[in-house]
Amino acid sequence: MKPELRPPREQTLDWYQTLFELIDMRSFSNLWFWIMLAVIWSSTSHWVLGVPFDMVVRARRFGEQAQIDLEDMVRINVNRLLYISQVSGLWLLGFTCFGLTTLTLLGFIYRLEFAQAVLLLAFPLSLIALLSLSTARLIQQEDAAGERLQKRLMRHRLYTQIIGMVAIFVTALWGMYQNMTLGPLGG
């Protein structure tokens, strides 16, 4: 009788363990989470009310056709934002509050790190959404154009960057706390 040729028990390949070692599933110790955080805030501060910020700079520098293009883009995006808020604003607000509450409970009551990470991304972005809606209403009420429109967009970008800096700072502090508390193996 021939002995069966099988690798020892310790050498068998456990796919799940290999996958979770290769891709760290803890959010705050994962490099991809921090890359995503940087990309999200970079994109958010570049797109002011759905208009790329370089259009504002170009309109300031060159005026004329660049200003006309900026005003058209802003008018289209302002009308779009205000239409969405009028048609389904309450539903969006309800779902957003439900989602943020769910993430808060899962993250801080049930201590699910992934929910904490998503909440630290989603909550400041919801503040940016409210800021965008407020700015859109102001632009429409003032019928802002020219230099006044540029100033309004620059102020919106400044507030977006301030919210972003605070959000990144809080996320970094919480992430460092989680990594120091849980250690390298996650508990």
Residue 139 lies in a domain: yes
Q: Domain range spanning residue 161?
A: 36-46+65-182
Terminus-to-terminus CA distance in the chain, angstroms?
Answer: 48
Q: What is the pLDDT of residue 10?
A: 53
Q: Which helix (H) or strand (E) holds 148?
A: helix 146-182
Domains: count for the chain: 1
Q: What is the pLDDT of residue 65?
A: 92
Residue 89 lies in a domain: yes
Give the separation between CA 115 and CA 121, rounded to whole angstroms: 10
Q: What is the pLDDT of residue 145?
A: 86
Question: How does 93-132 read in b/e, with b if 16+ C-beta sit within 10 Å?
Answer: eeebeeeeeebeebbeeeebbbbbbbbbbeebeeebeeeb
Q: What is the pLDDT of residue 19?
A: 59
Give the separation between CA 54 and CA 17, rounded to whole angstroms: 46
Q: pTM of the prediction?
A: 0.80
8 A C-beta contact, residue 138 and residue 144: yes
* Number of neighbours of residue 184 by Cβ within 10 angstroms: 8
Residue 129 lies in a domain: yes
Residue 158 lies in a domain: yes
Give the separation between CA 133 and CA 78, rounded to whole angstroms: 8
Q: What is the pLDDT of residue 151?
A: 94
Q: Per-residue DSSP letters for 77-119? A: HHHHHHHHHHHHHHHHHHHHHHHHHHHHIIIIIS--HHHHHHH
Per-10-residue mean pLDDT for the chain, 187 residues long?
A: 60 61 68 91 94 92 90 95 95 96 95 92 97 95 90 96 97 89 63
**Tally of CA atoms within 13 A in the half-sphere of 73 that contains its CB:** 20
